[in-house]
Amino acid sequence: MNLRKFWVGTLFLIVFLLCCASFNAYGGNVEESISFTDSGNEHLANNDLEKAIESYQKAISLDENNLLACIGISSAYEKKNDLNMAISYMEKYASLENSDPLAYVFLFKFYTLKEEFDKADRFLEKAISLGEKNANVWLMLGTVYLSFDEAEKGFDCLQKSLLLDGRNSPTYVELGNYYLRKKDFDKALESFNKALELDGSSIDTYYVNTQLGLIYIEKNEPDKAEAIYQEFFSKDNTNPTAYAGLGEVYALRKDFYKAAAYLEKAISLGSNDPRVYYKLGVVYASLGMKEKALETLKTLKEINVNLPLVGDDLVSQLEQAIASSDAGQNNQ
């Protein structure tokens, strides 16, 4: 699974969930607290963790009931691999009167990551007992299970969320991710489109369209994928995702020189997506550029991220593509 893409999707999911929740205290500082939270979200999305933490701390100092800020700062510390600080902020929020049961979902997640399973189970039980009728609790719990590669548990939670609220767009986004992992591209496509149809304003449409582009690539429908990436390109001609997607489109069409140019441009613009390096390596191998393919393979290994889309080991696949290219040339 592409953890970077998963994180971006999860961040926007969290924002949606908390837009649906009301703050437990309304005072003169709440509006300013929300402003600092928005700033923290922006820094977190850009992976500027120190600035994100600083903004969230200011938000919490103004309103300790600001759940979004507490989730944000805990998530920032999680990304810093400081689970103790993540837990500290979330437990402090959970101790407040009328705290949201979503907090217990995150504590379940953090203690599971620490491999303190007895504590994790206690928080899981508390999240379910307090949030049994809360569609967003089941949605977030499903998202957490998907992040743990426990796909079937995640699916069950998403189904429970839909039973409580069948028109919740973010649940369909996560359901799309589930089907994407299962390589059921038709159901993934149906789920993502359902999310857009129900309420595009409550989800990150850019993220959803990115996933749709990948699905069309996997379904070998380059024209549909190209339409999505050209739309990205028209809005921002420095968007690395647009170049990477168009590179994959040209690779499908076996226009390998164009594919290489677009994929190289995506990397030069800052893409660190292992899928981009994998596709570029395959393109180099198809062009007979073995040295460049091997250099790309080395970089892919250094990134050390497997499972970027639907559970495939890209390193092994690229090694096979290079070997196959060698065999083909030797037989000529």
Give the separation between CA 151 and CA 220, rounded to whole angstroms.
25
Do residues 273 and 131 both lie within one domain? Answer: no
Report pTM: 0.81
Q: What angle do CA 78, 81, 85 make, to 5 degrees?
A: 60
Do residues 113 and 169 both lie within one domain? Answer: yes
Helices (H), 219-289: 222-235, 240-252, 256-268, 274-286
Helices (H), the chain: 3-20, 30-45, 49-62, 67-79, 83-94, 102-113, 117-131, 135-147, 151-164, 169-181, 185-199, 205-218, 222-235, 240-252, 256-268, 274-286, 290-303, 314-330
Find the length of the chain.
332
Give the separation between CA 60 and CA 70, rounded to whole angstroms.
7
| pLDDT > 90 fraction of the chain, expressed in percent and rounded | 69
Q: Kindly report, residue by residue over 133-167, the tens digit of the pLDDT.
A: 999 999 999 999 998 889 999 999 999 999 999 99
* CATH number where 206 lies: 1.25.40.10
Do residues 278 and 317 both lie within one domain? Answer: yes
Contact 33, 59 (CB under 8 A): yes
pLDDT for position 10: 54
Contact 245, 229 (CB under 8 A): yes
pLDDT for position 119: 97
Residue 268's identity, in one-letter code, is S
Give the separation between CA 136 and CA 122, rounded to whole angstroms.
19
Q: Kindly report, residue by residue over 23-50, the tens digit of the pLDDT.
A: 444 444 788 998 999 899 888 877 789 9
C-alpha closest to that of 178 among 200, 158, 205, 206? 158
* pLDDT for residue 7 is more than 70: no
Domain count, the chain: 2
User: What is the band of 55 on the pLDDT scale with cuts at 50, 70, 90?
Assistant: very high
Do residues 68 and 199 both lie within one domain? Answer: yes
Lowest-pLDDT choice from 71-75, 193-197, 200-204? 200-204
Phi and psi at residue 148, in whole multiples of 5°? -90, 5
pLDDT for position 42: 84
pLDDT for position 228: 97
Bin 255: left if φ > 0, else alpha if -120 < ψ < 50, else beta.
beta
Average pLDDT, stretch 184-194?
96
Do residues 209 and 317 both lie within one domain? Answer: no
Do residues 101 and 164 both lie within one domain? Answer: yes
Contact 178, 146 (CB under 8 A): yes
pLDDT for position 332: 54
User: Which of 198, 215, 232 is the C-terminal boundary of a domain?
Assistant: 215
pLDDT for position 272: 82
Do residues 282 and 177 both lie within one domain? Answer: no
Do residues 115 and 180 both lie within one domain? Answer: yes
C-alpha closest to that of 52 among 20, 7, 118? 7
pLDDT for position 261: 98
Mind giving me the DSSP string for 124-159? HHHHHHHHTT-HHHHHHHHHHHHHTT-HHHHHHHHH
Do residues 231 and 174 both lie within one domain? Answer: no
User: What is the band of 330 on the pLDDT scale with cuts at 50, 70, 90?
Assistant: low
Give the separation between CA 332 and CA 316, rounded to whole angstroms.
25
Do residues 294 and 318 both lie within one domain? Answer: yes
Mean pLDDT for the chain?
A: 87
* pLDDT for residue 93 is more than 70: yes
Do residues 138 and 271 both lie within one domain? Answer: no
Range of the domain at 84: 3-215
Q: Kindly report, residue by residue over 258-310, the tens digit of the pLDDT.
A: 999 999 999 999 888 889 999 999 999 999 999 999 999 999 888 765 444 43
